[in-house]
A and B are shown apart, each in its own frame.
Chain A
Amino acid sequence: MSQKNRISGGQIDRTKTLNFTFDGKRYTGHPGDTLASALLANGVRLMGRSFKYHRPRGVLTAGSEEPNALVELRSGARQEPNTRATTTELFDGLTAKSQNRLGSLRFDAMAINDRFSNFLTAGFYYKTFMWPKAFWEKLYEPIIRKAAGLGSLSLKDDPDVYDKGFLHCDMLIIGAGPAGLVAALTAGRSGARVILADEDFRMGGRINSETFVIGGTSGADWAVTAIAELGSLPNVRIMPRTTVIGAFDHGIYGAVERVGDHLATSETGKPRQILWRIYSKHTVLAAGATERPIAFDNNDRPGIMLASAMRTYANRFGVAADKRVAIFTNNDDGHRTAADLHAKGVKIAAVVDIRPDVPRSLDYEVLHGEVVDTKGRLGLTFAEVKLGDGSIRTLECGALGVSGGWNPNVHLTCHQRGRPTWNETLAAFVPGGTLPPGMVVAGAANGDMSTHRALQGGAQAAQTVLDLEGPLPDLPQAEDAPINVTPFWYVEGASRAWLDQQNDVTVKDVKLSHQEGFRSVEHLKRYTTLGMATDQGKTSNMGGLAIMAELAGKTIPEVGTTMFRPPYTPTAIGVFAGRHRGKDFHPTRLTPSHKWAEERGAVFVEVGNWLRAQWFPRAGETHWRQSVDREVLATRASVGVCDVTTLGKVDVQGRDAAAFLNMIYCNGFGKLAVGKTRYGLMLREDGIAMDDGTAGRLAEDHFVVTTTTANALPVYRHMEFVRQCLAPDMDVQLISTTEAWAQYAVAGPNARKLLEKIVDVDISNDAFPFMACSNITICDGLRARLFRISFSGELAYEIAVPTAYGDALMRKIMEAGAEFDVTPYGTEALGVMRIEKGHAAGNELNGTTTAANLGIGRMVSGLKDSIGKVLSQRAGLNAEGDLRQVGIKPVNPADPVPAGAHLMKATGPVDAAHDQGYVTSACYSPTLGHAIALGFLKDGSARLGERMRLVSPLTGVNVDVEIVSAHFIDPDGERLRA
């Protein structure tokens, strides 16, 4: 296939040919092309369909503001919908498909919508589809949903990887056009740490698209020289293909570097894109300007594009939009396109200028008038011009360049509190209000439209923000021509003139919106969807505003502007996630016995970020219950061992350590003897239980506090709050030591016998009674900590050693316990045993329970102040008949008593109004041979023995239960004191 519209010149590498396909058809292009430029070179004008009316569309722009030429790029799992052909760098083997069509791009069956466009005006759907009521969801909405949307996701897992990172610099320069390059040179030469980012793959910005001369050489060559110098400076980082997407608080910028999007496939291990968080002391925004169109009837046909885009295709890519083109402009810049294309041998049908005193040309015809309509079903064939004298003239042309003036790219100035101000000369908004701190704006983004002023602005910006002494550097000579724009937004017509080409919002829609009272800018936007397409209204918002202003009899700045919000251009969700995908979503925490547990075939479960052994299946066990029941029974019969390293541990030292614990625990710790451990309940200041655990006193001035696994972090934070903010002069030092110690529970009647084989000290009942604790040594001299505490209700110890020895200790325990058939148990058996014993845990401490609910209200010491004490006394938390923790067992031993089920009276209604309580934790008790549960029941402690109905309509349970003590085994605690 020949590149029939390829013309001379341009910054492409004609020595290499790249093959690509669009809608299955093969084409060729060259390195340096975009998909759009290559398609245009091949004479392809039709590239997409619009959102609502499915109108045929071609490129409007040559940049990231493109609303029309959106394609599904690549295929399979890498399919990428809504990709702008205008910014897609061509690579060999590229495949793209057109989207949002039913049938082929040329014969889209959904184009029928265009025939009914008169019924599908702005907001029509709010007024209908309401009857019959059921039809919205059954009929209308499914049709609308199917028709809506643009491209499709593959719905396969994206095989590419994404990365994130952080950069720090003195000056971030956004945009590598003339202003940005000079700013970078000025700052870079001063030694400042500079980052120069540009969304394009070729640095230079607009000058790559122009024939301007800078300092005696072509603008594009000047840019190459400037980049080369910057590249030689070690303090300057040049980042092409990098879009700064947002200006966040305090000089933090988000930027996306497209590392692999221009490659057929990314290198192995290398990311497709990187999200950079750039921390910059100063920022120069040199993001340039975007040309805006003029609306006229049928201004959306393929071939109609911005005049500057037409120039870009010709000058940068060596592509003529067509053999015969026309221009429609309200300013001098539009004439440049005609001159440049004419110089490249393209036939200029005419330049149509709305201004009566139009600049003349010897090379082509210049008409004073307006384009009033166009023809051509799938691409432009004729433009109809109404001349100044009222006569109509038809121009034959395959492309029409439209220039309505330029809008500075102020977006990033508005991401915080900046509100742009109106500039009469440019008829455009320029940066204004409160810019993000540290930001200055230079070049066209600041409304400085000539190359000379851009160069000057860039140098000045760098000097100002870096506080550099001396005069501005010598700047190369460059053009300094004004644009001379006469504001002109749309041509009155009888048909439809598009403002937002992607969302199909026309001048008429804006007028209707005004007629129906949707007159604020935000109402207009929301009612018509103007500016809400993937281009975020970069080429359409101004037209809408201008028409609203005209209808309201106000000026444009009085009408206002809509908010510009990040991201500057749409950004892959994947890159915001970076590496945090799959198993890497969150870190994994492994206990010291993890490797050992793996060897034993443990089944692991996620507990927060921890992986804990859930149970240890043995050969022949086919159901988890078999393993868990065995582990429980073996522990209760002889001895079991469980890794409890995950419990939070906080080292509390200092002369005031005991006083400090008195403050954070509702029960007293002041009189706890050295060598003793005590159960403690922490309340939040609002009087609700926060966490529970134990604190062991290793020395007069040294405690070890344990927290639940889940609350380790918030409890530590809370303790630091109390220490630093409430008791700033207590002599107490805190440090979290959760991971410093490997800790194992050894439980069961033979626990002592087992441990006696390991420890170096006397742990007889007299020497080391229930709730004792001590620093000891084990195995002939390894330092360790021993606590005689029990979660299972058995004679039990928790033994801790420095983490690196954890694996060895576990193996030692297993070896020493072999004669007792020591059984490792996991979190399930742990849970079963604590339910059997009636210990509250996370399911009970759910953030709404009080000490009273837990049946330990008397623990809240009245003798001392503690966090939460005062508010725990509120009436609402101490009401008659309040919830109390109880045990629940089925009347029929075969019945389940599932967690989450609700308690109802044995007889009477079963509904929310008669709810009596609920089950918090449940299990099958192998010890008792039936299901058991803990729960909260209204006035529970007075209802032991009551028959009740336990219902879980969600899971189909409805059984008779009996309320019992929560202590299913050993209620008097004989075993644990044995």
Chain B
Amino acid sequence: MIIDHPLLGPRDSAEFTYMGDAKLIDRPDPDAATAARDFYDYAYLRDNPAGWHDELWFHEQGDRSWLVVTRNTITHEIRQVRLARDVARARGRST
């Protein structure tokens, strides 16, 4: 597969390490009353869709960016690639 890196352009997916569901960006509040349940959900339950999937790839043999890749798990088509850092900021992790 080829991942169109937002900075570097097309790169072979073999240069990347995969971690899966981009929901892992949304780490729950450890101080919430529901933290135990929230972290269980965060760490273990996955949507695992057959279709479009936001997922984390690390450009290990490249610029060391974590990316959020929107990929179709049936066709492997890739629709969007973003820097995970930008996604994290957009999801309110800037504190």
Contacts and interface: CB of A to CB of B under 8 A. Distances in A.
Direct contact of A and B (CB under 8 A): yes
Contact of B85 (A279, A725, A870): A725
Given A726-B25, A871-B43, A865 B58 contact: no
Contact of B88 (A252, A434, A725, A870): A725
Contacts of B65: 724
Interface in B22-48: 24-25, 27-28, 30-31, 35-36, 39-40, 42-43
A727 interface: yes
A870 B35 CA distance: 7
A667 to B, nearest CB: 16
A717 interface: yes
A578 interface: no
Interface centre among A713, A727, A870, A873 (most CB of B within 10 A): A870
A411 interface: no
B56 interface: yes
A725 B39 contact: no
Range of interface residues on chain B? 35 or more
B7 interface: no
A725 B30 contact: no
Given A250-B76, A721-B66, A865-B30, A728 B85 contact: yes
A26 interface: no
Contact of B19 (A248, A721, A873, A874): A721
B89 A729 contact: yes
Nearest to A865: B30
A522 interface: no
Nearest to B2: A250
A819 interface: no
Contacts of A727: 93
A521 B25 CA distance: 45
B95 A729 contact: yes
A724 B75 contact: no
B17 interface: yes
A654 to B, nearest CB: 14
Contact of B39 (A249, A252, A870): A870
Contact of A870 (B2, B36, B60, B94): B36
A251 interface: yes
B43 A686 contact: yes
Nearest to A684: B43
Nearest to B95: A729
Interface residues of A, number: 28
A166 to B, nearest CB: 9
Contact of B94 (A437, A729, A871): A729
B85 A724 contact: yes
A437 B75 CA distance: 10
B81 interface: no
A618 interface: no
A249 B60 contact: no
Interface string B76-95: 11100001110111000111
Interface string A304-347: 00000000000000000000000000000000000000000000
Contacts of A685: 27, 39, 42-43
Nearest to B32: A870
Nearest to A251: B2
A756 interface: no
**Residue of B19, B39, B43, B78 most packed against chain A (CB within 10 A):** B39
A250 B94 CA distance: 35
A434 B77 CA distance: 12
Contacts of B50: none
B50 to A, nearest CB: 14
Contacts of A417: 75
A249 B76 contact: yes
A726 B88 contact: yes
A725 B12 CA distance: 22
A729 B60 CA distance: 21
B23 to A, nearest CB: 11
A939 interface: no
A725 B43 contact: no
Contacts of A434: 75
B56 A725 contact: yes
B86 to A, nearest CB: 8
B8 interface: no
A416 B72 CA distance: 13
Interface in A21-36: none
A418 B27 CA distance: 40
A724 B88 contact: yes
Nearest to B86: A728
A807 interface: no
Contact of B84 (A724, A865, A873): A724
A690 to B, nearest CB: 13
A717 B60 contact: yes
A639 B60 CA distance: 40
B58 A721 contact: yes
Nearest to A720: B64
Contacts of A686: 43
Given A717-B60, A870-B36, A871-B40, A724 B66 contact: yes
B30 A870 contact: yes
A869 interface: yes
Contacts of A871: 39-40, 43
A725 B89 contact: no
A173 to B, nearest CB: 20
A872 to B, nearest CB: 10
A725 B24 CA distance: 8
B76 A717 contact: no
A713 B58 CA distance: 12
B74 to A, nearest CB: 8
Nearest to B28: A870
Given A250-B2, A870-B39, A725 B76 contact: no
Nearest to B36: A870
13 contacts: A248-B1, A249-B2, A437-B77, A717-B17, A717-B60, A721-B56, A724-B65, A724-B83, A724-B88, A725-B25, A725-B93, A871-B43, A873-B36
Pairs of residues from A and B, 5 with the lowest C-beta to C-beta distance, nearest first: A250-B2, A728-B88, A729-B94, A870-B39, A724-B85
Given A721-B66, A726-B88, A865-B31, 11 more contacts: A252-B2, A252-B12, A721-B24, A724-B85, A726-B27, A727-B93, A728-B93, A729-B94, A870-B30, A871-B39, A874-B36
